Amino acid sequence: MRNFFATACLIGSLFTQLGYAAPQDQVKEKQAKVDKFVKDESTVAIQGVLANIGPDGSKVSGAAAGIVVASPSKVDPDYFFTWTRDAALVFKALVDRFIAGDQSLKAKIDDYVSAQAYLQTVSNPSGRPETGGLGEPKFNVDRTAFTGSWGRPQRDGPALRATALIVYAQWLVANGDTARAANTVWPVISKDLFYVSRNWNQTGFDLWEEINGSSFFTLAASHRALVEGNALAGKLGKPCDQCTAQAPEVLCFLQTFWTGSYIDSNINTNDGRTGKDANSILTSIHVFDPTAGCTDSTFQPCSPRALANHKAVTDSFRFYAINAGIPQGVAVAVGRYSEDVYYGGHPWYLATLAAAEQLYDALYQWNRRGSITVDAVSLAFFRDLVPNVATGTYASNSATYKSLTTAVKNYADGYMAVVQKYTPANGALAEQFSKTDGKPLSAADLTWSYAAFLTAAARRNGVVPASWGEPTANRAPGVCKGGIPPCTVSVTFNEVAGTSFGQNVFIVGSISQLASWNPGSAVALASDRYTNENPLWYVTLQLPASTSFEYKYIKKTADGSVTWESDPNRRYTVPDCGSGAATQNDVWR
Ligand code: NOJ
Ligand code: NOJ
């Protein structure tokens, strides 16, 4: 079959989608079915999302205002929590929908802003608000901390939340409510950006909450947030000091996930996996910028890298029984990653929908550019669809462009058709569906599944989000410098201590900056403000933020004899990052 079509280049593309001779009207018929599904399911999906948001979501009583519950399911699995990631992705979809015209969502979005402002203040097992607490993956639905053991921190949450809020704040600015953007939304965004700019280079748990390492999705989300955060800061006249410095560094690091033929979704970890993971497809749709070219560095949906990766990842799920016999180039059910065992390791609705969405995004980008380039990296992806295609650039008026875009559209619709096939009659979207019989599995009514449907459907309808500024932020430095060192705070120690000629005062303590209790290398204080009335010794040190330690002052004489202050040891906690300089006043004892 394939070989036959290889010679029938122009019409081949219309047929290869089904892998066998498919008359054009069969393709049309399939498209009409998908059209109908998309229309009907859109209603179910928006209702499904709203039913899971407090305070009035019909399936989540007890959830506070603006809180997105992951799923109403309270047992097997218990998803009756709010995840920062799920909530942000859901609200990103809702904000885009609001901007596209659904006015009814404004109050919900404002609730979300308030709920997140509050959650940022809640101390939790990942830390206090200023010391890593923003990396906490999930909270109870009444906005209290979840204290059970979990894969934490997860650093994608702050970045994704910043993006959802930045898109909203930009809308506020464009629609005459700069005050609200600046006074209500920006404070939340800026805390997230602060977290991202200081922590992006630290390892953490991936979006599937399993692997502690560097996750492609998290890093790409961080890059996007810093870029658009910086643009918003500029508009509002607010500082975003590290955004400009850190964004190119994140982009630099992101390049190392590219293996040469696909994206290895988790690095800096020994996970024993191939790295082919829906993580990377979700990334492509999250960083989609409708004004971008097919940029490889930012893994745009139409980029050769992202297309090659789409093939690598989707092909890795062909072993599912429900995918049996489906040839390459024809849509399959997609899971998280092939080694997955969670609930038995099945396809996920949101992963399958993301595979469709990336292709709709790519179609938008080619259309806007007016051409498609097939290069050595993307060739295998395109050959699955149009077997005879060669590398080259094809302008939109060419027959090859037509056959490629027709085939990609049909391929994308194929993923929607897979979702359609395994969606029960009432349209309910759970988390997973069985790899053997396609029946829904795991959490019922997963909010993220519904949101994933809404965004895929919007892209299919040609509705795209605003640019996040990719065209001005897609050049990665040739050499990566890495992240900024952990935050320090300037602390001045004043010690009033009368000394005799030849005696000097030093500070020594339990941290390395205070010589780890070694009087021989204790830190000297200055005496230039010393007077008889006020025998002041002082020193200003840069100390790691939020660190607690013990210390004492000592007097040393030229002959090396040491006099210690009396017990007990003094204790000090360095203020949190960004708190400004501090002073500690002591008197010799
Ligand atoms: C719960 C997480 O939500 C899920 O992603 C993970 O696979 C399982 N725990 C197993 O670690
Ligand atoms: C498990 C998924 O792996 C994770 O990404 C998600 O945040 C939670 N379930 C809640 O939906």
Please write the tens of the pLDDT for every residue from 273-304: 999 999 999 999 999 999 999 999 999 999 99
Active site residues: 206, 209
Q: Which of 81, 156, 209 to mutate to test ligand 1, by most ligand atoms within 8 A of the CB atom? A: 209
pLDDT above 70 coverage of the chain, percent: 96
Question: Is 177 a pocket residue for ligand 2 (Cβ < 6 Å)?
Answer: no
Nearest atom in ligand 2 to 208's CA = 3
Burial (CB < 10 A; 0-12, 13-18, 19+), residue 66, is: buried
Measure 25 CA to ligand 1 centroid, in angstroms. Answer: 43
On the question of pLDDT at 133 being above 60, the answer is yes
Measure 207 CA to ligand 1 centroid, in angstroms. Answer: 9
Tokens (6 digits) for 347? 């396809």
* Structure confidence by residue, pLDDT tens digits, 396-421: 999 999 999 999 999 999 999 999 99
pLDDT above 90 coverage of the chain, percent: 88
Residue with tokens 């990842």, as numbered in its chain:
313
Fold of 488-587: Immunoglobulin-like (2.60.40)
Query: Whole-prediction pTM value?
Result: 0.84
Nearest CA-CA partner of 221 in 279, 160, 290:
160
Pairwise pLDDT comparison (75 vs 10), residue with the higher score: 75
Question: From 3.90.190.10, 2.40.50.140, 1.50.10.10, 3.40.50.2020, which CATH number describes the 4-472 domain?
Answer: 1.50.10.10
Residue with tokens 């997230």, as numbered in its chain:
192
Closest residue CA from atom 7 of ligand 1: 342
Question: Is 450 a pocket residue for ligand 2 (Cβ < 6 Å)?
Answer: no
Annotated binding site for substrate: 150
Pairwise pLDDT comparison (577 vs 353), residue with the higher score: 353
DSSP string covering 63-80, please? PPTTPBPS-S--SSS---
Mean pLDDT of 360-382: 98
Mean pLDDT of 422-435: 98
Nearest atom in ligand 1 to 208's CA = 5
Question: Is 79 a pocket residue for ligand 2 (Cβ < 6 Å)?
Answer: yes
Closest residue CA from atom 4 of ligand 2: 208
Nearest atom in ligand 2 to 138's CA = 7
- Ranges of each domain in the chain: 4-472, 488-587
Question: Is 208 a pocket residue for ligand 2 (Cβ < 6 Å)?
Answer: yes
Looking at residue 22, what is its pLDDT? 58
On the question of pLDDT at 42 being above 80, the answer is yes
* Structure confidence by residue, pLDDT tens digits, 230-262: 999 999 999 998 899 999 999 999 999 999 999
Question: Is 80 a pocket residue for ligand 2 (Cβ < 6 Å)?
Answer: no
Tokens (6 digits) for 545? 């933020």
* Structure confidence by residue, pLDDT tens digits, 61-72: 999 999 999 999
Looking at residue 80, what is its pLDDT? 98
Looking at residue 177, what is its pLDDT? 98
Fold matches, 4-472 and 488-587? no
Strand-pair partners of 205 = 212
Cβ neighbours of 101 (radius 10 Å): 9
Q: Please, how many CA atoms are within 13 Å of residue 305, restricted to the half-sphere of its CB?
A: 21
On the question of pLDDT at 517 being above 90, the answer is yes
Closest residue CA from atom 3 of ligand 2: 208
* Structure confidence by residue, pLDDT tens digits, 174-209: 999 999 999 999 999 999 999 999 999 999 999 999
Q: Which ligand is nearest to the CA of 340?
A: 1
Residues at CB less than 6 angstroms from ligand 1 = 208-210, 342
The CA–CA distances, whole Å, from 389 to 3, 66, 331, 359 equal 13, 49, 19, 18
Q: Which ligand is nearest to the CA of 90?
A: 2
Annotated binding site: 150
Q: Which ligand is nearest to the CA of 138?
A: 2
Looking at residue 26, what is its pLDDT? 86
Q: Are 527 and 537 in contact (CB under 8 A)?
A: yes
Q: Which of 208, 349, 450 to mutate to test ligand 2, by most ligand atoms within 8 A of the CB atom? A: 208
Q: Which pLDDT band, with edges at 50, 70 and 90, does 17 fall under?
A: very low
Q: Are 130 and 576 in contact (CB under 8 A)?
A: yes
Q: Which residues contact 491 (CB under 8 A, 6 or more apart)?
A: 540, 541, 542, 543, 572, 574, 575, 581, 582, 583, 584
Question: Is 207 a pocket residue for ligand 2 (Cβ < 6 Å)?
Answer: yes
Q: Which residues contact 435 (CB under 8 A, 6 or more apart)?
A: 320, 321, 322, 323, 333, 335, 344, 345, 346, 347
Pairwise pLDDT comparison (9 vs 213), residue with the higher score: 213
Looking at residue 490, what is its pLDDT? 96
Q: Give the amino acid at 395.
A: A
Question: Is 86 a pocket residue for ligand 2 (Cβ < 6 Å)?
Answer: yes
In the chain the first and final C-alpha atoms are separated, in Å, by 92
* Structure confidence by residue, pLDDT tens digits, 541-572: 999 887 778 999 999 998 989 999 999 999 99
